[in-house]
Chain A
């Protein structure tokens, strides 16, 4: 099973700041990685797929990069609605999710 490790577990930032979230795979997943956002009481929302492609309707402040085992989700300038939990997911070998990064308001 491919294990995805997200860091940090919690990230405390202020609106307007830049957020950088990391996801590391236990073995190469090529570019078969997605990012999701989940707010309390809501279902997850697909943000990024195939490492760097924004899903339909996702603002340009969200971007993804990386390949192989190391991936980054960047939010260029945080809006109040961006504070949530973020998960990465790989589809290279079966499907697994990371344990999540909580992005909280500082």
Chain B
């Protein structure tokens, strides 16, 4: 079945870096754009970044622009998020999610992983 499994979360000090991964299975990964969405404890969802199916375009929320980099490896069906210069405000559960539309621009998220937790604390 269609599945997304995130990994790479953990505890990191302010100013530190972390790399998240998302392993995809059950669908043609290379045909769909992918998103990262985060949720701070007790808070609403916040969209973080999107990458087109072929990696040709990437979009970021203003809150992470210049610090986070989304990428993908279509040969290994894996999505990544490199997170640098982390602050306490980045503490959240990070979800990867599949875009609804094949080979399109960013739209909606129809498949979600269970998430991986990032905690930024000294």
Q: Residues on A close to B: CB < 8 A? A: 1, 32, 34, 36, 38, 43-46, 49, 55-56, 87, 89, 91, 94-100
Contacts and interface: CB of A to CB of B under 8 A. Distances in A.
A36 B45 CA distance: 10
A97 B114 CA distance: 19
A21 B90 CA distance: 29
Contact of A43 (B59, B100, B108, B115): B115
Contacts of A91: 106-108
B29 interface: no
Contacts of A34: 108
A95 B50 contact: yes
Contacts of B50: 95
B46 interface: yes
B106 A43 contact: no
A43 B47 contact: no
Interface of A is mostly: loop
B67 to A, nearest CB: 17
A36 B61 CA distance: 20
Interface of B is mostly: strand
Given A34-B108, A43-B112, A43-B115, A1 B62 contact: yes
Interface string B83-122: 0000000000001000010000011111011110000000
7 contacts: A32-B107, A45-B112, A46-B108, A49-B100, A49-B110, A94-B61, A98-B44
A101 to B, nearest CB: 10
Contacts of B62: 1
A89 B110 CA distance: 12
Contacts of B109: 36, 44, 46
